[in-house]
Structure 1
Amino acid sequence: MRRRPAIQASTLVCACAVLSVAGCADSEPPGKRFRGKSADRIAAEAVRATRDAGSVRVTGAVRREGSAIGVDIRVDARGNCVGRMTGEGGRADIIRTGHTAYIRGNDKFWANAAGGREAAGSADRLAGRWVRTPAGQAPISGVCDKRGFLTAADGGGAHPKGMSKGETVTVDGKEVLALQRRTDDERTTVYVAAHGRPYIVKITQGKGAAKGDLNFTDYNEPVKATPPPADRVVEPAADLGGA
């Protein structure tokens, strides 16, 4: 049977990505802020501001091949991370602190992590418990990489290309400039804050049934990633796909 990771960040990163805005208000008209700048330059400045933010909360959902994948994650620049992921019937609470990740998933999550196999005895062993694993080996490893969510905005490179300016609109009560990139297969819209720091407020990507979006809020707020109580932690097992 083909191995299927539980809920991978790469699926989310392919489909959409990254960040909202709190920021300090300013009085500069949005037209003046963006005047004389190409869409690609504005996108690059937004990617840089978002990448350098101290922390952010990422919430939203995307659809891939008919399956909904949702996230509610808080992550900071040091890699601390707390939140939840859902998808394909699976659900996992996540804590990452330092080089260690803790995952508390339901049976479906661990079955997905094990490539669709129902791990013998795992339900009783893991019920209500946190599995401890090196952060880089966890089935949710990429989700706690704040920079990874920027892929949809920068195209995977240092300098976004192929963007065009859209209208100045309002998203969640915030005035933003819409930047758009279209191909035959996909449409991407990056919403950049018109006031305060030029954070990315929202990105939508895809079209039709595969369209998704993520919203990002609570910039530069502390991420309280505290390890769970020791008596609720278990070590990883081979039958759980190394999770």
Structure 2
Amino acid sequence: MASHRKLRAAAVVCAAVAVAGPTSAAAWAAPPAAVRAAVQENAPLLPVPAPSPSPDPFADLTPDEIVDRAVTATQSATSLRMAGRVVSEGQQLDIDFAVNERDECTGLMKIDGGTAELRRVDDFTYMKGDEAFWRVSMASQGMSKPQIDATIELVKGRWLKIAPGQAGSSDLSGVCDLQGLLASLDEDKAEPGTLVRGPDGEVDGTPVATLVKKETGEETGTETTEPETTEPGTTEPEPEPAKPETTTVSVSQEGKPYILKMVKTGGEEPGSMTLSDFDKPVDVVVPPASETVDLSKLGQGTSA
């Protein structure tokens, strides 16, 4: 339900229980065979109760009410981990970040085959990328190949240190702004009555309720234009229909009703994001000064 635009810049656990029957005194000392036989012959056969299904905590709620509770619970988190993939402006971005309410974060991002690690603590952002990541990032900023080559030599194997107010600082801090990310849940909530409840499922072994919102091109703001006048004897190709946009939100049915997963298909920014590790500590390690290079040094063309 949160905007993927805000998210630009887990293993499943299965449990199986086997019941072997009532424990006898053999667990302590084996009784004589005759005693065991008498016990077995006279012991009543007790019926084994069938497991009862877990009650649905949202049974009496509408889809809109479920989402309201989920947004409120998720916004109360002091920290969380978000991992997934989004597509924005044609670029595929994979992220895996742990974020807390102090705007501290640590994690990885991957884009176009490049990988970078990002840490933010005490209002400073540290980024360490491989060569592929830096080339993609710098090329997108319009830097020439000679500039890119020279810059990569300065940052190779080192952390780029970005101070508050420096270029890119605000964009990167947005990735680590927990309250800003969670605030977008309210901004992107569906209009009342547009949500439906889908079949229940699981996210990483936790049972969830799913809420689904579908939009047409008209609902998402896609503009329609009048067909252009064509010369006699010519035909104008039919415009491609807008791909319907579907958002699916999975809400935990155990404990607090946290949002555990958001999936968006169609539209301009499809993707999937999983939320986990709610309220767990986020430990961010400041890279050693000997392994960092200040962003201001890059503009001067000097080494750190």
Please give the range of the TM-score, normalised by the shorter of the 2 chains: 0.7 to 0.9
Q: Is the 8 A contact 1:59 1:72 kept in 2?
A: yes
- Report the structure, 1 or 2, having the larger strand content: 1
Q: Is residue 7–residue 175 contact of structure 2 (8 Å, CA) maintained in 1?
A: no
Relative distance call for 1:160 and 1:145 in structure 2 (3 A) is farther
Alignment correspondent of 1:56:
80
Aligned-partner Cα distance in 1 for 2:202–2:256: 16
In 1, the alpha carbon distance for the partners of 2:119 and 2:69 equals 30
Q: Give ranges in structure 1 of 5+ residues lacking alignment.
A: 1-9, 20-26
Q: Which structure's relative contact order is higher, taking Cα pairs within 8 Å and 6+ residues apart?
A: 1
Which of these residues, 147, 157, 178, is aligned with residue 128 of structure 1?
A: 157
Partner of 1:68: 92
Tell me the equivalent position of 1:35.
Answer: 59
In the alignment, which residue of structure 2 is the partner of 1:5?
Answer: none
Question: Cα distance 1:47–1:193, how it changes in 2: closer, same or farther (>3 A)?
Answer: same
The alpha carbon displacement at 1:55 in A equals 1.1
Corresponding residue pairs, total: 221
- Aligned match for 2:254, one of 187, 195, 205: 195
Aligned counterpart, 1:205: 264
Shift of 1:212: 1.9
Deviation, 1:54, is 1.7
Paired with 1:86 and 1:193, the residues of 2 have a C-alpha distance of 28
Q: For the Cα contact (< 8 Å) 2:126–2:160, is it kept in 1? A: yes
Larger radius of gyration: 2
Where 1:123 maps in the other structure, the secondary structure is: helix
Q: Structure 1 residues 87 and 239 mapped into 2: Cα distance closer, same or farther (>3 Å)? A: farther
- Partners of 1:47 and 1:111 in 2: how far apart? 38
Give me the CA root mean square deviation. 3.3
Q: Distance in 2 between matches of 1:155 and 1:186?
A: 17
Within the candidate set 107, 126, 136, 1:102 is matched to: 126
Percent sequence identity over matched residues?
Answer: 31
Greater mean alpha carbon deviation, residues 115-124 or residues 229-238? 115-124
Q: Give matches, 1:65-214, under 5 Å.
A: 67-114=91-138, 115-117=141-143, 118=145, 119-134=148-163, 137-138=168-169, 139-150=171-182, 153-156=185-188, 161=192, 162-184=194-216, 185-207=244-266, 211-214=270-273
Does the 8 Å CA contact 1:62/1:210 hold for their aligned counterparts?
A: yes
Q: Closer, same or farther in 2 for the Cα pair 1:97/1:42, shift >3 Å?
A: same
CA shift in 2, pair 1:69/1:103, >3 Å: same
Deviation at 1:152, TM superposition (A): 6.9
Change (3 A) 1:29 1:147: farther
CA distance in 1, matches of 2:88, 2:264: 11
Distance 1:71 1:87 in 2: 9
